[in-house]
Amino acid sequence: MQDKKLTLEEYQKKYNKRYNIKAAKTFIFLFVAAIGIIIATCLFFITLRVYELNKYVGYGFIALSVLLFIILYIVPLIKISKTKSFMTLVDRSNISKAKKYNKKLREDLADKMIDLSESTKDVSFYSNESIGKLAVARHTKNDSMLREALTNIYKTDVSSCAKKLIRDHALKVGLTTALSQSQVLDTLFVSTYDLNLIKDIVFLYGFRPNEGELAKIYRNVLLASFSAYGLTNVTSSTAQAIVQKIGEAATGVPIVGKAIGTVLDSSIQGFVNASFTVIIGYQTKNYLMKEYKLQDILEDVIYEESKELEEEEELVYTLKDDIKTSVKTKKKQEA
């Protein structure tokens, strides 16, 4: 909640960081396509390796690879894209629509939280006190109380769950890539774990970041995938240099020296991959909270909804329909 209400002009000047939606969607498509190619390539090489060991098992692994591609790549992307985002980029023509849309989305978020809490009583993301406040706000149709309850639940329960999700995913990525010692497996694990982390955080919050922010998140997943693929050679040389500096005691016993090198090599890979996962997780979390705060600020923005503005909007839509009709008529006449 804001103590000082802003005018629309002040909000636009302070918070309207404009971005090209079409360009953002194009980048999302490119980044997502690149991630998909990486995952598909990794699954192909793993399947090829299995086929070389046993062709009958290889045939079965082809079907498994397709299933994994759908579950680990297609499903998360669909769930993220289908999730709604708040309208925070506004001007005089759409601020009224944005406020109505955001109000409806807040109510939907509250309803989903209440339903989820009731259906999963043994394991709940939210405290009983928080859900109780949401339920009272929805029952009394008190929007001010609902906003306050949602803000509190996002700052406490949801934030704590998001941090735990990020830590769990980062730990899995770190341990898995540290033990695998395979470029292909490392890349596959990093790509799919990070993608599913984004999906889980978006599910937890109930809404997604805007297109510009989503493009940045997918870009970092792509960078993490490339980094995981190239880490094996880089960390091997780094580990060898560290081992050499440890002292002659390790090099005097070859088995000990090799063991230290492997441990250092694995630790570096796991740590770097886990760090990327933490960065992606917190980036997603921070973008979501930024969007939530912006829509909350927008709700208190002061603006004049004049009759002239309504007439202006009506004229624009009328012109749009007239132009479409004229173009269709002309095409029919030419045909």
Instruction: Give the model confidence (pLDDT) of 242-280 as tens digits.
Output: 444 444 444 444 544 444 444 445 677 788 889 999 999
Residue 1: inside a domain: no
Residue 168: inside a domain: yes
- Residue 224 near residue 266 (C-beta atoms within 8 A): no
Give percent of the chain with pLDDT exceeding 90: 54
- 317 in the same domain as 259: no
Q: At what angle do helices 75-82 and 183-205 cross, to 10 degrees?
A: 30
**pLDDT on residue 153:** 94
- 158 in the same domain as 32: yes
Residue 2: inside a domain: no
Three-state SS sequence of the chain:
CCCCCCEHHHHHHHHCCCCCHHHHHHHHHHHHHHHHHHHHHHHHHHHHHHHHHCHHHHHHHHHHHHHHHHHHHHHHHHHHHHCCCCCCCCCCCCHHHHHHHHHHHHHHHHHHHHHHHHHCCCCCCCCHHHHHHHHHHHHHCCHHHHHHHHHHHHHHHHHHHHHHHHHHHHHHHHHHHHHHCCHHHHHHHHHHHHHHHHHHHHHHHCCCCCHHHHHHHHHHHHHHHHHHHHHHHHHHHHHHHHHHHHCHHHHHCHHHHHHHHHHHHHHHHHHHHHHHHHHHHHHHHHHHHHHHHHHHHHHCCECCCCHHHHHHHHHHHHHHHHHHHHHHHHHHHHC
Least confident range from 7-16, 25-34, 147-156, 299-308: namely 299-308
- 44 in the same domain as 21: yes
- 219 in the same domain as 327: no
- Residue 208 near residue 214 (C-beta atoms within 8 A): yes
Give percent of the chain with pLDDT exceeding 70: 82
More confident: 292 or 93: 292
- 142 in the same domain as 40: yes
**pLDDT on residue 327:** 76
135 φ, ψ to 5°?
-65, -40
Domain that holds residue 335: 309-335
**pLDDT on residue 249:** 45
- 296 in the same domain as 193: yes
- Residue 251 near residue 259 (C-beta atoms within 8 A): no
As a whole number, mean pLDDT of residues 163-186 equals 90
For the chain, give the number of residues. Answer: 335
Mean pLDDT, the chain, rounded, equals 83
- 25 in the same domain as 45: yes
- 332 in the same domain as 188: no
More confident: 234 or 120: 120
- 37 in the same domain as 111: yes
pLDDT tens per residue, range 176-222: 988 887 889 999 999 999 999 999 999 999 999 999 999 999 999 99
- Residue 148 near residue 181 (C-beta atoms within 8 A): no
Least confident range from 98-102, 150-154, 319-323: namely 319-323
* Nearest-angstrom CA–CA distance, 329 and 170: 59
Residues ≥6 apart with Cβ < 8 Å to 324: none
- 290 in the same domain as 334: no
- In terms of Cβ atoms closer than 10 Å to its own Cβ (0-12, 13-18, 19+), residue 114 is middle
**pLDDT on residue 314:** 61
- 272 in the same domain as 314: no
* Nearest-angstrom CA–CA distance, 173 and 194: 9
* Nearest-angstrom CA–CA distance, 199 and 236: 33
- 178 in the same domain as 124: yes
**pLDDT on residue 155:** 94
Residues ≥6 apart with Cβ < 8 Å to 220: 276, 279, 280, 283
Name the domain count of the chain. 2
pTM of the model: 0.80
**pLDDT on residue 312:** 60
Give yes or no for residue 27 having a pLDDT over 80.
yes
Residue 142: inside a domain: yes
